[in-house]
Structure 1
């Protein structure tokens, strides 16, 4: 017996700064888009700007000058808009909202809290940010006539200091995004790797790098790669020629997959 159809629409970043509802009656293409969104059971969008009030001040963003600079917000690119824009999005037919991004902390933790408050006040289904890491990682659920939907959200574009913190019985975790850290591996010829080892030994880098790595990669000592400062290096192979390779941190991967399993159990 065939199951009832379930329709999902996925959009990109919703970067709105003013009302666009009047365009529905002025533009046939926009009206057609709204018809698609409103006819689906679930429609998801990324809320890119921070939802701010008149009391919010934007964060003092610093330019990150390391290998991960492209993942960080660039000074001057500040995204914020009024919480009322959520009404525009829901009127368009959108009912699932992701919020983890490199701009989530553009207005500091205060702006992230106003974003959380705006979404909760409107009882929206959103994911990717939270008052602590558990909340930011947890799936959110939407019940529709066609079934229940689970929503998870993480970002590899983590703003500096923007990942949510772990809560303990003693300390509350910090609000932030659900991080999905990306590991860069620099593969090179074995003789070039030996040269880096010699440089690090002679300059004292090997004696101090542990303090840098402890903050960003607590599992580095159990890794079979060689770290030149914070850079993960490994010999090239027949399958992996010299170059830069990317992989997800295993700890984040396992945490995300565990939440996927939880959501599957709740929606199956």
Structure 2
């Protein structure tokens, strides 16, 4: 589906190596990648939470990446407002998050996600200001589509790192667009629109056709024989009942071009996608994603990082480059004291009677079970421009703790760490990925060049007791 576009993007332009997709970093280059950062408070000063050993891992990399799902501003001075659309709660944290994220070790963050515009353009711009002020590179949002989709660059001692951030899950009004004639561009995020259809059996299609034909506004005969559009939903025939997704070819082409250009001006490029499809309940990826991740790597990406469904999905190694289909939640902090009135309305609550904590207790019922509070830190090490080793450090986010203490990661204790890694082994097996478990740490080895620079003793530091 995407190969023709990749072939066009990789055409010879008459300059040596201008279209090269090769990794070009110094030996020992490491990238740490984690999932969603739903962070509402500084965490580095809280020594009782067991975050210290985590921060050591984050700081020990050339590039440390996460997906920022929080707006950052001082609510007392904020001139914007919560929007009529939100990504499922109005995420916001104080300006102190800027230096705290830097202190954790993060130096490159994705911004394109369903919470990017919870607080409108003002929230987006204020968050950008705080990150810029703290020297954290970020990508995925901007004052028009060209800015939102462009690669942003981090200078490291072992090479220049680029980030291209886009979202398959987003609120409709948050999508950026470019200028058209006299009409100005629109601030927003870089979006990958998806056309969703529901695959059903041939017998089900016939039943749906009878329902459609019985409706007063029916216009039968205008559709493919194996497809029905009913009440705005598209159904098509297949062997298994499931959801199916098709990426918008215009968005896909823009993203592939941005990846290609980003790699032309960098030594290592991260392509990152925020998507909840087919749903937060699923440990399997949507049917469009694997082919698109491969196309992104073919176009120049050195790593693909997925996040969004709030739980782990499998890991694939494609052409010697890592693909993380979902890294789950890294910080799933519920310590938020500010919420928009619309969110209270959704749960039939009154902000003059009910507290934000009351509201969040109800909202978090969407994520039942510890699986949403277990994740990994990935450390990818490169030698001779090849991925030599992946190390996977299991973390847990305190599912059993009270609301005010839940959501901050610590290294998982041994029995839990092994259970997390066994689940990840199972999820990664369909991609041909073999993960060994060594002292509570997952290891994927691709070649034997160089030596491991990390002390596994970090695995012995686990969560502090409540």
Q: Fold conserved (TM > 0.5)?
A: yes
2:106–2:136 Cα contact (<8 Å) kept: no
SS at match of 1:21: coil
Task: Assess, with a 3 A threshold, how the Cα gap between structure 1 residues 162 and 205 changes in structure 2: closer, same or farther.
Answer: farther
User: Gaps (5+ residues) in structure 2?
Assistant: 1-24, 268-466
Matched with 2:245 is 246
Matched with 1:183 is 195
CA distance in 2, matches of 1:249, 1:179: 10
Matched with 2:264 is 265
Task: Give the number of equivalent residue pairs.
Answer: 238
| Residue 49 (structure 1) aligned with residue 48 (structure 2) | no
Query: 1:243, CA displacement in angstroms?
Result: 3.0
CA distance in 1, matches of 2:183, 2:117: 21
| Residue 149 (structure 1) aligned with residue 149 (structure 2) | no
Task: Assess, with a 3 A threshold, how the Cα gap between structure 1 residues 225 and 173 changes in structure 2: closer, same or farther.
Answer: farther
Alignment of structure 1 residues 46-85 onto 2, 5 Å: 46-53=67-74, 54-61=77-84, 73-74=87-88, 77-85=89-97
CA distance in 2, matches of 1:234, 1:28: 50
CA distance in 2, matches of 1:32, 1:248: 40
Alignment of structure 1 residues 128-139 onto 2, 5 Å: 128-139=140-151
Query: 1:170, CA displacement in angstroms?
Result: 1.1
Matched with 2:235 is 233
Query: 1:189, CA displacement in angstroms?
Result: 3.3
Deviations 1:86-116 (A, max 9, x none): 1111122210011122111111222122223
**TM-score of the aligned structures, taking structure 1 as reference length:** 0.77
Query: 1:10, CA displacement in angstroms?
Result: 1.1
Matched with 1:39 is 60
Matched with 1:12 is 35
2:162–2:262 Cα contact (<8 Å) kept: yes
1:165–1:174 Cα contact (<8 Å) kept: yes
1:50–1:111 Cα contact (<8 Å) kept: yes
Query: 1:49, CA displacement in angstroms?
Result: 1.1
CA distance in 2, matches of 1:95, 1:30: 18
CA distance in 1, matches of 2:27, 2:184: 44
CA distance in 1, matches of 2:34, 2:241: 37
Query: 1:228, CA displacement in angstroms?
Result: 3.1
**TM-score of the aligned structures, taking structure 2 as reference length:** 0.46
SS at match of 2:234: strand
SS at match of 1:267: coil
Would you tell me which structure has more strand in proportion to its own residues?
A: 2
Q: Is the deviation greater in 132-141 or in 122-131?
A: 122-131
1:186–1:243 Cα contact (<8 Å) kept: yes
